[in-house]
């Protein structure tokens, strides 16, 4: 795990990664482990709901029209068209609500969005890049996940290539090779910032 500098006063922790690198698994693990101290920033998205996902828990699933209203009314801290026609964004209300509870806010967002949050909140925000062991392993993981159409799979791979070059924008690089080790390292990292 690469470390740039140590702060303990973050109130936001952003996990980002190229698609398929395993960040959602890491984020879910941390939320289970530190339920009392961490809150999840539920994003808005226009992508279809996957099996098992719950509206208002995993995401707020919106139509493109509803999402446009959020943009027009300036209700998003950041938003990206992560895949063609698929919008994702962080709601101002989510951040406000969670910070009021005194919990640290955990984000699971794409690389561009994470860069925006880091730029906006600077030292209040710990930004962690989850790195897959290699590009080909990541492609295989994404294929095994089998959640994408061929077209969407192609788009994701294109994006992954671009995102793999951005790890240096973040405070920590967390290598996700063996999941057990990654989860332990993530716990250690977060524990240091929860005290
Ligand atoms: P998925 O469709 O697999 O849930 O997510 C696709 C990508 O969108 C992931 O990298 C996820 O972290 C990212 N994402 C989720 N919510 C947001 C958000 O609010 N803003 C941005 N920029 N990306 C997001």
Ordered DSSP codes for 135-158: HHHHHHHHHHH--S-HHHHHHHHH
Ligand 1, atom nearest to 18 Cα: 10
CA distance 31 to 2: 22
What strands, in cross-sheet order, belong to the sheet with 104-108? Answer: 2-3, 172-175, 125-131, 12-16, 104-108, 38-40
The single-letter DSSP state of residue 6 is -
- Residue 51 has what pLDDT? 93
CATH of the domain at 6: 3.40.50.300
Contact 156, 20 (CB under 8 A): yes
Q: What is the pTM of this model?
A: 0.90
Nearest CA owner, ligand 1 atom 2: 47
What percent of the residues of the chain are helix, what percent strand, and what percent coil, each to the nearest 5?
45, 25, 30
Nearest alpha carbon to residue 15 among 35, 30, 33: 30
Half-sphere exposure of 12 (CA within 13 A, CB side): 25
CA 189 to ligand 1 center in whole angstroms = 22
Contact 16, 23 (CB under 8 A): yes
When divided into structural domains, the chain yields a total of 1
pLDDT tens for each residue of 75-103: 999 999 998 899 999 999 999 888 888 89
Nearest CA owner, ligand 1 atom 14: 109
Number of Cβ within a 10 Å radius of residue 81 = 13
Nearest CA owner, ligand 1 atom 9: 110
pLDDT tens for each residue of 155-178: 888 889 999 999 999 999 999 999
What lines the ligand 1 site, CB under 6 Å?
Answer: 19, 43, 47, 78, 80, 82, 88-90, 108-110, 112-113
CA 28 to ligand 1 center in whole angstroms = 14
pLDDT tens for each residue of 1-56: 544 444 456 899 999 999 878 899 999 999 999 999 999 999 999 999 999 999 99
| Interaxial angle between packed helices 150-163 and 135-145, expressed in degrees from 0 to 180 and rounded to the nearest 10 | 150
Tell me the three state secondary structure of residue 110.
coil
CA 8 to ligand 1 center in whole angstroms = 26
Q: Which two tokens stand for residue 131?
A: 């790195």
CA 36 to ligand 1 center in whole angstroms = 24
The domain of 173 spans 2-193
């Amino acid at each position: 795990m690469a470390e740039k500098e140590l702060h303990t006063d973050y109130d936001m922790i952003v996990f980002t990664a190229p698609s398929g690198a395993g960040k959602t698994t890491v984020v879910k693990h941390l939320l289970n482990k530190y339920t009392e101290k961490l809150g999840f920033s539920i994003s808005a998205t226009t992508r279809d709901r996957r099996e098992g996902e719950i509206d208002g828990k995993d995401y707020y699933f919106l139509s493109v029209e509803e999402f446009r209203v959020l943009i027009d009314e300036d209700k998003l801290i950041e938003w990206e068209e992560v895949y063609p026609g698929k919008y994702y964004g962080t709601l101002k209300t989510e951040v406000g609500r969670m910070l009021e509870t005194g919990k640290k806010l955990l984000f699971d967002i794409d690389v561009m969005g994470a860069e925006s949050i880091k730029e906006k909140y600077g030292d209040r925000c710990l930004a962690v890049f989850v790195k897959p062991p290699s590009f080909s392993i990541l492609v295989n993981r994404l294929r095994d996940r089998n959640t994408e159409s061929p077209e969407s799979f192609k788009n994701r791979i294109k994006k992954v290539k671009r995102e793999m070059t951005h790890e240096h924008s973040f405070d920590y690089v967390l290598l996700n090779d063996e999941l057990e080790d990654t989860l332990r390292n993530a716990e250690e990292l977060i524990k240091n910032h929860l005290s």
